[in-house]
Amino acid sequence: MIVAPSILSADFGNLEKSFKKVSSAKWLHVDVMDGHFVPNISIGPVVIKGLREYTKQVLDTHLMISDPEKYAPEFVKAGSDRITFHIEAVEDPYGLIDKLRELNVSVGISIKPNTSVNSIRELIPLIDQVLVMSVEPGFGGQKFMPNALDKISELSELRKLWNPELLIVVDGGINETTGNMCKEVGADVLVAGSYVFNSENPEERINSLL
């Protein structure tokens, strides 16, 4: 099991201190929002570059943006190790997957709560991870949506057929209870923001999800 603290919930005034609090985590999850695909606006490639200088942890970058084909390469060059884009935001997912492969980065696809697994079935053999949104993207601190569990189960079965190495990532409303529910049906990576960073003991919270 991999826990990926979401830096959207970190203290941007003191990132170095925030990173030290979650130093045991293998991954850091970075949400990129453009104010168009989702209502909020967050960090860009310049911040990713700064994050890369702070840490050697895997930077798992989640592009919640319109036109990811145009901007994804910038986030790779800035230091992202893994790029996940939304199936709802692309016209040619095959083309973007190919472009990211050429840049030697791991590739993921995310689906929103109202998007079915069926929409990405044909892409499963081509990618490294699927990110299941268990809240509406764009805001932290939301409650977990249980329909995500059905999607995780479905993906777990599909990867047995098409891509045994596929990682199933879950993002939204993750805590010890919902994290265990996700693990039981096949999740490999849990993204947790406020549950980790708003705690007196972030490392303890990370361990509770492993």
CB 140 within 8 A of CB 163: no
Task: Judge contact between 118 and 96, C-beta under 8 A.
Answer: no
In this prediction, residue 41 carries a pLDDT of 64
> Residue 39: its pLDDT value, please?
67
Neighbouring residues of 169: CB distance < 8 A, sequence distance ≥ 6:
4, 60, 84, 108, 129, 130, 131, 132, 187, 188, 189, 190, 191
- List the Cα angle 65/149/129 in 5-degree steps: 45
Write out pLDDT tens, residues 161-199: 999 999 999 999 999 999 999 999 999 999 999 999 999
Q: What value does the mean pLDDT of the chain take?
A: 93
- 11 catalytic, yes or no? no
Whether 31 contacts 136, CB under 8 Å: no
Give the DSSP letter of residue 6: B
Q: Which residue has the higher pLDDT, 76 or 66?
A: 76
pLDDT in tens, 31-67: 998 777 876 767 789 889 988 988 899 999 999 999 9
CA–CA dist 41, 100 (Å, integer): 23
Architecture, CATH, for domain 2-209: Alpha-Beta Barrel (3.20)
pLDDT of residue 8: 84
What pTM was computed for the model? 0.94
pLDDT-based confidence at residue 139 (cuts at 50, 70, 90): low
- Please pick, among 31, 60, 128, 188, the residue that the annotation labels catalytic: 31
What's residue 141's pLDDT? 67
Going from N- to C-terminal start, the domains of the chain cover 2-209
Pairing mode, strands 2-5 and 189-192:
parallel
The pLDDT of residue 137: 83
Q: Which among 34, 60, 128, 171 is annotated as catalytic? A: 171
Is 128 a residue of the active site? no
H or E stretch covering 209? helix 202-209
How far apart are the C-alpha atoms of 103 and 124, rounded to whole Å?
Answer: 19
What DSSP assignment string belongs to 40-100? -B---HHHHHHHHHH--SEEEEEEESS-HHHHHHHHHHHT-SEEEEEGGG-S-HHHHHHHH
